[in-house]
Structure 1
């Protein structure tokens, strides 16, 4: 069955696993609950997952072809046990090469590599969403120029994978201003979130793509994203959503930020 595409928040570092005993900090529990409910919400269990994280950039779109990727603990200053987390899902080299072929056919320069570990934008939310680590998974990089329209087009090139049971996931944060960390900026974050959500859920798919590609024109856009790498996974998910309906799947306020998730299809 045709799978949706998703844009989800991946939290902050290993936020759901800060307690070695396994208790999620209360502030992060609503986000964890949202992630844990993703698989039951799907039309059937995905045959594979293609995920784009805000933590991997390459000069060209690059697919990970490894069969058993390790984890890349690309966060700092957290408890020692969070550097021993495991998520041992199998890689999906055949799916990776299919994705690359689709991008090549759409005119993109592409690459592949098989040694990089899955960054925390992959394994932290997937440890919650797919706790049994039993769905073959491939990671796709962002393109380092961060061109929003190009990322939307890349997503559109990958849309057909959804018809083969592949869940396409953009993993980032709809608000990501580390300079504001530790301060309550929810009034500003609310303004941006409302404007972003209106653009993402525009019922006209062509207008939706236009408005989201022009995200920097939204109110407080550069306050919400001084650098947009955590927003670009949304562009891929939106593009992969094609002309399917877009819904606002989740909203929360955490660490003084307003964050949202979206579903296409």
Structure 2
């Protein structure tokens, strides 16, 4: 595979809610800080990658499943939003060659892998990418989580995918550092801060095996099950950390009052 002179970092991003980039009129400035942080990613990278591998919280499958569609359609996997948001388009090309490479790396690590030639982009992918690469001119492949959401398995997945960083592929885990739809707003201020503070210590304050061990035991963190009653929005972080190996982490986005009271963050590893 083609290598580059510098290894790309990996990211775990908080991707926001639903089709927010197309709701500026309805949302006002609520997403300005998140949008700015995502839009800054190309500057941080210093070059345009040949493709993005996106691991979204919104796709789970029995085996790790990679999108092989050369022209991915849209998956409007949300409800209750304005009618126009069910017509939005993010027409980035797929990358079947990358899909094959991803599948082979996963299989070589002894993990179950499938491909899906029909799958399209869900909002965990197309919403943040509309801010990162608004021209939709960077090929993107999505990779599912595996049902069961085993942290160790997803760390192992990240380790299997690490060679892609030297092949000019940007690995992004897309979720939310706090995701409890029944506890948003001011009531979530304290638990979201407690968990976010722990998360920053776990992934920025440590590296390597110490960091992995903290993430494996994430459910013991302060307010963990308030922040994540179900952990699908946290598990993409495990993939980003696994692919990061011993590279240090940095918090590249943070706010304490997102959506009326949430502490939320995004992280970069390496680079």
Pairwise TM-score range, normalised by the shorter structure: over 0.9
Offset of residue 24 of structure 1:
6.1
Report the Cα distance in structure 2 between the residues aligned to 1:43 and 1:234, rounded to whole angstroms: 23
Contact 2:185/2:262 (<8 A) preserved: no
Q: Does 1:254 align with 2:248?
A: no
Coordinate RMSD, CA, aligned: 1.3
User: How many residues align structurally?
Assistant: 263
Q: C-alpha offsets along residues 182-235 of structure 1, whole Å, 9 cap, x if unaligned? A: 553111110110011111113331101111121101011001000000001101
For residue 16 of structure 1, what is the aligned residue in structure 2? 21
Contact 1:70/1:117 (<8 A) preserved: yes
Offset of residue 67 of structure 1:
0.2
For residue 69 of structure 1, what is the aligned residue in structure 2? 72
Report the Cα distance in structure 2 between the residues aligned to 1:114 and 1:202, rounded to whole angstroms: 40
Offset of residue 236 of structure 1:
0.4
Normalising by structure 1, we get a TM-score of: 0.96
For residue 59 of structure 1, what is the aligned residue in structure 2? 62
Structure 2: runs of 5+ lacking an equivalent: 1-5
Report the Cα distance in structure 2 between the residues aligned to 1:182 and 1:78, rounded to whole angstroms: 19
Structure 1: runs of 5+ lacking an equivalent: none
Offset of residue 54 of structure 1:
0.3
Aligned pairs for 1:30-179 (under 5 A) are: 30-179=33-182
Match of 2:188 among 170, 182, 185: 185
Report the Cα distance in structure 2 between the residues aligned to 1:10 and 1:25, rounded to whole angstroms: 17
Moved more, 191-200 or 248-257: 248-257
Normalising by structure 2, we get a TM-score of: 0.94
